[in-house]
Structure 1
Amino acid sequence: MNQWTLKPAGILAIHPILPVLVVDSVAQAVAVGNALIEGGHSVLEVTLRTPVALDAITELRRIFPDVLVGAGTVLNTSDYDQAIKAGAQFAVSPGQTEVLLHHARNQTIPFIPGVASASEIMLALAHGYTCLKFFPAEASGGVAVLKAFGGPFPQVRFCPSGGITAANVQDYLALSNVPAVSGSWMVSDVAI
């Protein structure tokens, strides 16, 4: 896939579950990535919450060139730029700022900003973003809120994250405005 033409909607359409990796070593990232790929996943998100995250992105891209590898927990423009340097093919944030929304529009990789309210959705729409991370999903009202957002925001597609589990994932995926869910629940510390 060509990262320069890939759009957020295309990323979310690849697989209904986007695994989020929080890794403590590059070797761990490769092992978990390999297991997920063998399980049928072709899109991975590595959070920038550990010191090895950027190196993990670089190594996952090198070892698995046919897999889309993105950077999560992108909080500012520096995170965004470092993710690009590491080889990330998309960036995801738990929220948004005017500065980050503007910066991402001028970069070479797609951005999926986070929202938790109607006002934040409107801000993202004003900047041209229609694929959004709904975070923290369960704490922000979950399925009921996403259903409600469907009325005033029919053009928006959400990737809920935060509180998604094996027990509720199908409830989210049943919504017409949710092409995919993300989270670390399927690659928890216990599983790793």
Structure 2
Amino acid sequence: MSALRVALADDQALVRAGLRALLERLGIEIALEADDGAALLAQLADTPVDVVLSDIRMPGVDGIHALQALRARGDATPVLLLTTFDDSELLLRAAEAGAQGFLLKDAAPEDLFDAVTRVAAGETLLQPVSTDPVRARFHFRDDRAPVDSFNPREVAILRLLAGGYSNREIARSLFLAEGTVKNYVSVILDKLGTRDRTRAVLKAITLRVI
């Protein structure tokens, strides 16, 4: 299997150098580097990658605006944003813009590798999102009815979805068939009136289902 190709964006040269060295040691190829979102967008137009790993805070075009521009031009490359604990509001904006995941800047090397590979595989990692800002930001008209309509198994699956686990991993942890988990997820999305897992998790947090 060929190495994952990553685009790396951070305005601090030392941070980029450290991340490059770390990722290359883990067997991940750095296809391009950029010091802001504008440079990132320009290079991505000519250089396809498996994952974009970008700082969320950068001068000029930041990580979120770069993400919005990518999605606006039809580029669905998974984006993993580097962040810190005090970025709750930015995380919510990034989730709305279509980010696949967030990673704390002080994450352990194995966590970095795991996050990049999981996002490349199509998973969503929402762990660093603080639940209180989510509830403050997202308001839904019917904020009562769904809460008591979820059984314990559905709540357990929702919590695992919030952790970024795939259907296969959820199936393993709950001793279910993968097809059964897929059916549960479909029911959960239907109950919450959402079309994707990210919005389902955000809405479930807002409604205090999880």
Q: TM-score range by the shorter chain?
A: 0.3 to 0.5
TM-score, normalisation: structure 1: 0.37
Considering Cα pairs closer than 8 Å and 6+ residues apart, tell me whether 1 or 2 has the greater RCO.
1
| Larger Rg computed on CA atoms | 2
Structure with the higher fraction of residues in helix conformation? 2
